[in-house]
Amino acid sequence: MALRLTHIYLPKDCSGCLDDIREKFKIIEHYEIEEKSWNEIKLLLDAEMTEPVLDFIENRYGHQDGFRVIVTPVEAVIPRLEVGKSPKLMMRAKKA
């Protein structure tokens, strides 16, 4: 399974981004880091989901000062993700 790690940087006053994304897309894992003047959201995505998620994020938040997205390919995940277990992983991600 090809994976991508997406780093989304938003100004502190942008809120609800992670909730919006989680409602619309299957996210394997997610993390949110709050800094003094900005937030970083990290999403672990199936490679096929990357473009629709990026289009949504850009359309919704692309006009914000400080907005940036960085996408990197993922070589490995430990513990290993099992093919066909996405619903279970999605449930775990939603609890975080």
Q: 7 CB contacts (<8 Å, ≥6 apart)?
A: 40, 41, 42, 69, 70, 71, 72
DSSP state of 8: E
Least confident of 2-11, 13-22, 42-51: 13-22
Q: What is the mean pLDDT of the chain?
A: 85
pLDDT class of 94 with cuts at 50, 70, 90: very low
Any idea what the CATH number is for the domain that residue 47 is in? 3.30.70.120
Domain range for 66 is 3-95
pLDDT at 26: 92
pLDDT tens track for 53-89:
999 999 999 998 889 999 999 999 998 887 665 444 4
Cis peptide before 79 (omega within 30 of 0): yes
Q: Is the pTM of this model over 0.85?
A: no
- Contact (Cβ atoms closer than 8 angstroms) between residue 22 and residue 91: no
Q: How far is CA 94 from CA 23, 38, 88, in A?
A: 9, 22, 10
Structural domain count, the chain: 1
